[in-house]
Structure 1
């Protein structure tokens, strides 16, 4: 695999800095002291009032604190495990690593662009940059001419593509349902609060929805790149849906209203994406030769040969 040393260094940097950032985020934000003010849009906003996220709204802070917990308890262990697995020469490990880095890229892009300015702003920018280049190099490390050898012919394409299309439609319905009424009625969209724009919706509508549709089409056509992109999106969905489920629980603990539909839908999706994740990895083949037969090379030797 190309760029192993660079990817390893960037992943270590991302892991160490995010460990510090997430730990401070959760430890400094206990026992919130809510304060209220009226935004420029005329909304009455409750601020969290404590710790790193003191200037963020109660809703946003509750979500970010839950995200920090998921990063500490799930994201970081998955990052270290997938890096170790990839370093042993595993194709499954490399795909898992790409998807996990995608979680960190999405997470710290939203932190850097959405949260009210705080003392960790430069660390958010550092994490955004490190995870972006780690993700880019990981994607560049795959041999796309031989990528089809890493997936067997029995992938349930309709199930995988169906989930990807459903994910795209779900995000479109959720976010357009918030944005379009505000445009029609000339009112602030739900969830804007005192922020300047809808950053999460920008990331989802601008990147996740098109990527899900593209990968779904490619999976139906049995294209190897579609399998790769689809698996990465499934890993991303696994981590983000876990975070969203934790966010909703923490929002309710903070007294924020959560839709019954969202409360029931996202945990069910979380379970289904785990099923898709296992299903997809089951059909990834390890260490095939150019002719498609199984390779008998030691994966550790394969790794070191290309260093």
Structure 2
């Protein structure tokens, strides 16, 4: 890697910042406890009232804490290991590091857009910016001609490619099941919108992440170099994202929030994604 020193500084800064943000999210005291808030739409919303996420609805605050656990105990160690592994060289290590950085970028982009304003706002800004820069730098390091050579040496692309397409379609249908019915019956606002301004996660998923999953899957099956790059990176990113979503669902189920059908779909998607990622990366490792 030509910019390993710069990448090391960025990665270490991301790791330290993410640990600080997650630790505050998990353990920060404060707040006066749960209370009911009337939204601009006249709904009575149960607000968490404690900790960093005290102004968020109680079930969303639980999700934030659950994701913080995944970030500090799974994603950060993986990020640091990926950086060390990358120093030894090899395409697989760079793909893993890039996918891990993708998780941090998306995570703190969502925190910026969806999280109620709090005293960590500028830290979220820094983490989203550094993650984006590190992700972009890593992506630009890849040689498309080298990827072209590797993908035409018999790498198994059908299973991971089909999975990426199905994943994009499945999650899109899951979100549309929540969004379309109130639009069709005239109530407009979907259940779970609470006191938030809009459906941030669903909007960014439907506009960016899910189409990207489908496009990468199609290009991977066609053995395009960008398909290999995007597909491998997306599969690694998805391991962390689906782990975080699974943790969120477990947390929600513990406090009695409704979790169907996501509690079935998301963990199953995680297991298949791990299989697809290992399948593809092993093929790359043998041929690169």
TM normalised by structure 1 equals 0.89
Number of aligned positions between the proteins: 287
| Equivalent position of 1:245 in the other structure | 246
List 4+ stretches of structure 1 deviating above 3 A.
29-32, 149-152, 285-288
**Alpha-carbon contact 1:152-1:284 (below 8 Å) kept:** no
Deviation at 1:269, TM superposition (A): 1.4
The CA distance in 1 between the partners of 2:178 and 2:77, in whole Å, is: 34
Q: Deviations over 1:96-135 (max 9, x none)?
A: 0000000000100000110111010110111110101110
Written as runs of structure 1 = structure 2, the 5 A alignment for 1:121-270 is 121-151=121-151, 153-184=153-184, 185-259=186-260, 261-270=261-270
- Contact residue 56 and residue 116 of structure 1 kept, 8 A: yes
- TM-score with structure 2 length normalisation? 0.94
Shift, 1:2, TM fit: 3.0
CA shift for structure 1 position 153: 2.7
Q: 1:49 to 1:31 in 2, by over 3 A?
A: closer
Structure 2 match to 1:293: none
**Aligned counterparts of 1:141 and 1:2: Cα–Cα separation in 2:** 8
Q: CA contact under 8 A between 2:151 and 2:225: conserved in structure 1?
A: yes
- Residue of structure 2 in register with 1:294 after alignment: none
- Unaligned 5+ residue runs, structure 1? 289-307
Aligned counterparts of 1:253 and 1:17: Cα–Cα separation in 2: 29
Deviations along 1:4-56, whole A, 9 cap, x unmatched? 22222111111110011101110126999321111111222111111111001
Q: How large is the Cα RMSD of the aligned pairs?
A: 1.8
Spell out, residue by residue over 1:60-106, the C-alpha distance to the aligned partner (whole angstroms, 9 max, x if none): 11111000000011100110011111111121110000000000001
Structure 2 unaligned regions, length at least 5:
none
Given the superposition, is the C-alpha separation of residues 216 and 287 from structure 1 closer, same or farther in structure 2, using an over 3 Å criterion? closer
Aligned counterparts of 1:135 and 1:55: Cα–Cα separation in 2: 31
Q: Shift of residue 174 of structure 1? A: 1.1
Q: Report if aligned partners of 1:175, 1:201 keep a CA contact under 8 Å in 2.
A: yes
Q: Take 2:59 and 2:30, find their aligned partners in 1: how far apart are those partners?
A: 15
